[in-house]
A and B are shown apart, each in its own frame.
Chain A
Amino acid sequence: MNAVPETTGAPSAVAFDAVNKWYGSYHALRDVDLTVARGERIVICGPSGSGKSSLIRCINRLETHQTGRILVNGNEVTADPKRIEAVRREVGMVFQGFNLFPHLTVLENCTLAQTWVKKTPEKEAARRAMAYLERVRIPEQADKYPGQLSGGQQQRVAIARSLCMEPEIMLFDEPTSALDAEMVKEVLDIMVELASDGMTMLCVTHEMGFARQVADRVVFMDAGQIVEVGAPESFFARPQHARTRQFLGQILH
């Protein structure tokens, strides 16, 4: 494998190798190379339209890339539906808009995929769902419908729903951007806990405090390209690229 540095033995969790993506004629991802080791926490930031969401949505093929290769646990993401399903079993995702299923209760949101995809018996699925709902600290809401919960609670349910599938990798696509300021912390706290448990995480977020606290590396993107990658201390203290300095100057006060 060229350009994808292999760590000893086990394949990396996620590897992008010269990935390109276009929306029509718009070049949204340009020669993206990035390797994420197992257990690594990556925060991806950048101005809107820079391709950060596209980047992580390509990992579980909610978006398709046109050229280059994406490997998840060593398996290439291709158009083959079997491959896509295998990748999606290993990768969980949390969305900006929560995307809970409004016609199902919180508990049913958490058991649906378990029973349909993994064929887990109903009872065990419910037991596991309750365990993860406890972990995100809302077991008492299990029988409510998503519309009855606050945004922060909904996002925590969405995290629990994803964790119920016991993924090895979690993708977060701006998980706190749609939340009222009062609710950002309750979601970030859960994410911090998840990070300290050793979950491989790729988070698109503007929460720089979170990046400082948990990220192993921060990736800065602009115009479809990775502009700068660095450990959080150096990334925030000594950004190298002019575009990074400009961006950080605008979001940090």
Chain B
Amino acid sequence: MNTPYLPEDQEPRDGDVLAGEYVLGVLDASDRRRVEQLIESEPAFAAEVGFWESRLVSLAAEIAPVPVPDYVWARISSDLGLAQAARRGPVSEPESESFWQKLGFWRLLTAGGFATAAVFLFALLNVIRVPQPADPVAPPVATVPEPVTPSGPTEMASTLTQDDGQPGYVATMDAATGRITVTPLQPAADDDLVPELWLIPTDGIARSLGVFDETVSQSARIPEEYVELLSIDAILAMTLEPPGGAPGGKATGPVVAKGGIQLLAMAP
């Protein structure tokens, strides 16, 4: 074969050595681009690269696999529009369910993620607890709906993490009062869309908890039939929807943040 020559190098070398240098990874950026042009234009050189790739790849077998955080797949599928493609499918009902069932993967956040989220939450809770409007007429005990777990903690919290791993929203919920407070931390910037919060219990079906404000902490009542679905097995996800909320109660926009739910054992 002829001998490709890189002008910047002092000594010319055979194509097989240059191919080896490329696969080994010792070339700088501009040499790498030149080599890639050679791969495109010279089949014999491309074959040399193939030779080194098939031999040196075995070194990579020494590298232990590392578990990948689930949001990386969420980012890939969102980037490529795979989730949208699934939702646009001809049979809308099962397709959209299968999309939401994929949210199951998001439940499996890394332990590190949970730990960070928990620390963050406890720090934040002291700041954002919104005072409940007291009802002066009714006796306080009678107005409180029966708690889901009367003896256990009823207060829960969730850090909704963005694709980049940063916390996007924090939600605190109280099953006893049926109220939820959502605080935006790093709002997803989109002028035309509003964040809508979804509760996804173990059945994988998303229930809307309403549209929230993008800039300030906001409190809302959780629909009564959803209160009992609040648990550490459920997750929360925020999507961007048209103003007024997702048409027909089905999420249409991209998921911008999601997170698991934790029980808060608060001091009395």
Q: Do A and B bind each other?
A: no
Binding site for B on A (CB under 8 A): none
